[in-house]
Structure 1
Amino acid sequence: MSRRGAEGGQRSATAGWAFAGAVGTLAATLFFGIATRVSLANDIDIVARAGISRVLRGGISDLIDTFLIICVLVAAYAVALWAARRGFPQAFPAVLGAIALCSAAMLPAMPLTSPDAVHLAADVRTFWLHGKWPADFGGTPDKVDDPVANEVRVYRSNPSGYGPLAYMIGGAPLPFVGDGFRANLVGQKVVAGAFLLLTAAAAGIVAKRLGRDPAFTAAFIGLNPMMLWQYPGDGHNDVLMAFFGVVALGLAVEPGWRARAGGALAGLASVLCKYALVLAAPLVAAFWFPRLRLAIAAAAVGLGALILAAYALDFAPVRNGTLGPATAVAPSNPWGVISGLFDLGRTGENRLVLFGYVIYLAGLGAILLLHPLRTGLDLARAAALAMGFFLFVASPGYLPWYLIWFLPFAAICGDRRVLWWAAAWSTTAFLPVLALNWQISIARSWNIPEPVRWSVVLAWALTILAAWLGPRLWNGGSRQPQPAAGPRFQPRQKRRAPTRGRAAPAR
């Protein structure tokens, strides 16, 4: 064996051992530091109301402990990404096994941040066992006599807002969980963890097709501490939408119309889980039909102008309901800070929502006009920019688990600037989560008024700083070139007859 080969094998072995150590640290910290400390064994009323601070009631000391645990998770995640990027034998299946292990470590945890999974556990039973539509007021938990619905405490009289496919898939655990409240809740967490794994796997496969590293791509998504916290931990179901969205992207970049039709069906499945990724559909249309690109951009900007006119004329067609990306202002983003500072009320928040969509459509128009959109990687990068821009800048309803709308496309495109943005944002997103849970203790002990607002400002400032500074200091030490891979689609050039005395243009 040559010296160079021996050195390569040694580096590969080092990366493999580093990855194993990082994953072991992640899984052990998730299980012993979070899941068993804030577990489903707590009183049902506490579990149903959710929130890590309902169990860890030591005030600032518990806040600091939890913050340090998150720091350990982030450090282990960074090492795992370094090792995956460096490369070792069978890295992709090893990453998928690591995601399954870390997801399993979070299953004993009660919902840590949001009670949505409790509501969802009741909703799928309403859909499957009682034949009612959970997204309608006739199917709310307070109107259904069911052992799980009877335990719902938060948003009890409000419907949920998912699509029919989300309820259908969410019913998969029902034959195995009986009527127990905790068992049904674990069933939804298993579904969420399984689809986090499937999303990471699908993204890795698509990335490989486009010339990227599948192991790094899957690890970036599935070992992300915020994703493990929100999906196998909290049991949210946006990851169902994300999985079908990744499949849709993988098929959309194929040149044949049979594959594109499959991509359209996968995109429809994504929308039937939750609507959000439809916001990136104009990019796919422009990728498929380059000659219509200007018209699609004009339509996006024109729709924004219509919404702006509605805003100017004081016409607000949306109303606040349960927190969601379409109709509400959440406290965990800058729009929520603005709403709180100026005490806007319902009418003012409706205007903010409308204005947010105006900003998004303007940004989408700019992406459609300026982005190359020639290769599969171009489309993945454009989708990452669009969804990231919507959540970071234009969505008053942003909540931290919505990051799954952005992370897969960021990981697939592999642009180091987008990767730094996504990694920094998903890390700093823990700051508002902690502030929301311990805001009273922070205000009393540290004399910081409105700690949630300050945490949002700090999170956004740190994300912007990291996204700007990170790529300039370190590019990640990629072990492979970054080709502009993927099928290329160019509009056909009209063939012109050569004029006399001149050479015909080269084809």
Structure 2
Amino acid sequence: MRSGATQAPDPGGIPIRTILLGVAGVMLVALGGTGAGAILKRDPLLTDTSLSWIRYGHGHDLATAVLYLGLGMVIWAWVRLGRMVRNRHVGSQAVLTAVVAWTLPLLFAPPLFSKDIYSYLAQGQIALNGLDPYRVGPAVLQSPLSDNVSWVWQNTPAPYGPLFLMLAMGVVGVTNASVIGGVVLMRLVLALGLGMLVWALPGLARHLGGRPAVALWLAAANPLMLVHLIGGAHNDLLMVGLLAAGCLFVLDRKHVLGIALVTLAFAVKATAVVALPFLVLVWARRLDGTRAARLGKAIAGGLVTFTVVFASTTLVSGLDLGWIPALSSSSTIVNWLSLPSAVGDFAHTVVSAFVRVEPGWFMTIARGLGSLLLVYIAWRQWRVAEDGGPEAVRRAAITMLAVALLSPATLPWYFSWALVLGAGLAWTTKSLQKVTFFSVFLLLVTFPNGDTALYSWGYLVLTVAVSALACVTLVKPDPLKLSSRYT
């Protein structure tokens, strides 16, 4: 990846067949999701109707097959579009058309690959009922919203910032605590993040030396983003939209506005704070004086902006800082996407073959070492980026990737954080292939109902094969030689 490269204008043209292939795919995903997704325990639209069979037995199997057929078509369409973008046959307009066309059916689909949206709505209802969502979990409600929250999070306080809790309260209030209405409206609110993202990516590419069409293809049209962040309705989408817009404003010399937007991203989800020290370096580079003086002025300006925006958001919400300690609740998730958790789990498995020991110590030590390593990596990246400029954003993307890999708990869509910040860089073909492989892999390692597939080894082998095929297809049409006509 390089920065500062000269950009050539993007070509025009809309690949209708490829876009329609993706549309058909997401429609099948949405259709299959009515039976195989993260469905309601009691759905007022299907329960006690002639269509309820789709959620049981052979009906559920059929729905699952339809959903995975749709996923395959979405992946195929995305890779075909990427090949056209890479070869400069189409440009940003084609990718934007695809993003809009592929997003619309997902806005009205059942929750897919995650039940987190039910937690969001329940937390909003807790706050509306006058309780503190930072101290109690959804189980206190005993309502249709809390009934659909995963058992893992029933007694877990909200780990999200005051801005997001205000939005959740608004959604629940407007929909009168309707589960289906809440899901749709929350998706529409989160889609604002996608709008900010597609607005910001071309500008980030301009600063970072990449191509706008490639950036949009990587971070906006990517099935990992659309299926998990739109279909799964994760608040990460709003966070990364604000983050991307904030980074662009800072690069465009609108430093206070940019840091204010990233602060709002932090008020949605805490991870966004990682970018702020790097944006301060960009600001410092444009100031007068010695390096120490410039850095001091930028840090002071950044702290004032952060404090005013965050304090105002917190005061308006009527909430407190209880969400900060609640962040540790995610440590209940154990999977090997988190490298420290993987090491701790593996070490316990090996030692348990010889002696009986409790797993907690292994996990605590491994995660503690992972946190230390993360702090070191973040510090090193910040020091390397001390001259500011676009390089600071690249270093922020690397740090975000380290956060996803080394956090105590990691979920597939966490890798969208680094992808958004790095999408505007100048990517080599090999790098694009790697992103394609891991995007498809991360898309598929969660089952449609939200359960993890990371311990279903036979399924993972198939997932790796599909990801590898997508990787090769990005540069070589029809690698399996199934057709005599390449597209």
Which residue does the alignment assign to 2:313?
none
Query: Cα deviations across residues 212-265 of structure 1 (Å, max 9, x unaligned)?
Result: 43333223212111111112211111111111211221122244xxx2122221
Q: Mapping of 1:16-165 within 5 angstroms? A: 16-18=13-15, 20-32=16-28, 34-39=29-34, 44-45=40-41, 55=55, 69-85=70-86, 91-127=91-127, 129-137=128-136, 140-144=137-141, 146-154=143-151, 155-165=153-163
From 421, 424, 428, the equivalent of 2:441 is: 428
Q: Give per-residue Cα distances to partners, 1:437-464, cap 9 Å, x unaligned.
A: 7889x9xxxxxxx43599499869x89x
In structure 2, the residue matched to 1:285 is 280
Residue identity in the other structure for 2:175: V
Displacement, 1:36?
0.8
Q: In 2, are the aligned partners of 1:204 and 1:215 still within 8 Å (CA)?
A: yes
Cα offset, 1:74, TM superposition: 1.9
- Cα distance change of structure 1 residues 329 and 352 upon mapping to structure 2, 3 Å threshold: farther
1:387-418 deviations in whole A, cap 9, x for unaligned? 123323x2231101212211111212233365
Shift of 1:76: 0.9
Offset of residue 164 of structure 1: 0.5
Per-residue Cα deviation, 1:45-83 (whole angstroms, up to 9, x for no partner): 1779xxxxx958669998777555433322211222333
In structure 2, relative to structure 1, the CA distance for the partners of 1:150 and 1:458 (3 Å cut) is closer
Match of 2:193 among 180, 188, 195: 195
Match of 1:265 in 2: 260
Conservation of the 8 A alpha-carbon contact between 2:32 and 2:65: no
Cα deviation, residue 203, structure 1: 2.0
Instruction: Indicate conservation of the 8 Å contact 1:328/1:349, yes or no.
Output: no
2: distance between equivalents of 1:320 and 1:386?
A: 19
Q: Separation in 1 of the partners of 2:256 and 2:132? A: 29
Aligned partner of 1:359 in structure 2 is 373
Q: Is the 8 A contact 1:329 1:349 kept in 2?
A: no
Q: Which residue of 2 aligns with 1:218?
A: 216
Q: How does 1:310-325 map to 2 (within 5 A)?
A: 322-323=329-330
**What CA RMSD, in Å, does the superposition of the two structures yield over aligned residues?**
4.3
Aligned partner of 2:131: which letter?
Answer: K
Q: Which has the larger radius of gyration?
A: 1
Whole-angstrom CA distance in 2 between matches of 1:452 and 1:92 = 38
Instruction: Please give the per-residue CA displacement for 1:14-39, whole angstroms capped at 9, x wherever unaligned.
Output: xx243x3222111211112x111122
Identity of aligned residues (%): 19
Matches of 1:174 and 1:437, distance apart in 2:
22
The Cα shift of 1:192 comes to 2.6
| Aligned CA distance change for structure 1 residues 60 and 158 (closer, same or farther; 3 Å) | same
Quick one: distance in 2 between partners of 1:431 and 1:146? 32
Q: Specify the code of the residue in structure 1 equivalent to 2:166.
A: M
Offset at residue 136 of structure 1 (A): 1.9
Structure 1 distance, partners of 2:132, 2:95, is 38
Asked whether the equivalents of residues 99 and 220 of structure 2 are also in contact (C-alpha less than 8 Å), the reply is: yes
State whether residues 18 and 81 of structure 2, in contact with CA within 8 Å, keep that contact through their aligned partners in structure 1: yes
Q: Which stretch shifts more, 92-101 or 183-192?
A: 92-101
What 5-or-longer segments of structure 2 have no aligned partner?
1-7, 45-53, 286-290, 297-324, 350-357, 477-487
Q: Per the alignment, do residues 368 and 124 of structure 1 end up closer, same or farther by CA in structure 2, a change over 3 Å counting?
A: same
Residues 278 and 396 of structure 2 are in contact (CA less than 8 Å); yes or no, is this contact kept in structure 1?
yes
Aligned equivalents of 1:63, 1:412: Cα separation in 2: 35
User: Where do residues 407-426 of structure 1 align in structure 2 (5 Å cutoff)?
Assistant: 407-416=419-428, 419-426=432-439
SS of the residue aligned with 2:196? helix
Distance 1:46 1:131 in 2: 26
Q: Could you tell me which residue of structure 2 aligns to residue 497 of structure 1?
A: none
Shift of 1:114: 1.9
Write the letter of the residue equivalent to 2:79.
A
The one-letter code matched in structure 2 to 1:270 is A
Picking from 376, 379, 392, the partner of 1:379 is: 392
8 Å CA contact 1:384, 1:407 repeated in 2: yes
Change (3 A) 1:439 1:175: closer
Matched residues in 2 for 1:438 and 1:362: separation? Answer: 33
